[in-house]
Amino acid sequence: MPPIKVLQSQFLCAASKLEHCPPMHLPEVVFLGRSNVGKSTLINKVLQQKIAKSSATPGKTQTANFFDTRWQLTHQVLKFHCIDLPGFGYAKVSKSLQQEWGVFLCNLLKTRSSIKLFLHLVDARHPNLALDQEVACFLDQLIAPTQQVRRIYTKFDKLNANQQHALWHKTPNCLATCLKTTDISAKFGSLDAIQMAIIEGLFGIKTDENT
């Protein structure tokens, strides 16, 4: 696999309304999932910079946070946006705010044609929660032919080797943030695999490691 070099990453803006979002001139990847699933942590790893705020308090993120980044793949420079969405399912958030998030997020996801890839983050210890299934169904109904959805398991290192293998065989098209075992394909669990999935989803560039 060609090496990926993150040239630059920066926080672009935090939006709570559609008019606050940046222009749709670059392809975009969306990170979404339940509160405290590890979206900010993964974004920081993917962008190789502590740029997204991560908190132990679920529900802290209340806006759609946009990040601008430039990567180099061999001789190509790839520019795109990452979007960190508010977490779902945080019970202590007021109902009115949850409703506001719902309207804003739905409109954001429906209207931004620049979004090419949705990364649905799921806690590997709880892969079949009703809320995650609801989000998956919502995305299946939402996406256009030019868009893709990939599931990424976070907290994968909390599983033992047998549990990792079982989850991998059940959902082989998914990705994971890390592995304890070395005999599971790198297509499933490595930072490089996640970065290449982003490049493929946004730009259609495939490599031997991500086909």
pLDDT tens across 40-63, in order? Answer: 889 999 999 999 886 556 655 578
Alpha helices in the chain (DSSP H): 39-47, 95-111, 130-142, 161-170, 191-203
Q: How far is CA 188 from the centre of its chain?
A: 15
Average pLDDT over residues 172-184: 71
**pTM: predicted TM-score of the whole model, two decimal places:** 0.89
Name the strand (E) or helix (H) holding 156.
none
Ranges of each domain in the chain = 4-210
Beta-ladder partners of 119: 31, 150
Greatest mean pLDDT range, 103-107, 129-133, 150-154, 182-186: 150-154
Please, what is the average pLDDT of the chain?
85
pLDDT tens across 94-129, in order? Answer: 554 455 557 888 889 999 999 999 999 999 999 998
pLDDT at 116: 98
Choose among 86, 100, 23: nearest CA to 52: 86
Look at domain 4-210 and name its CATH class.
Answer: alpha beta
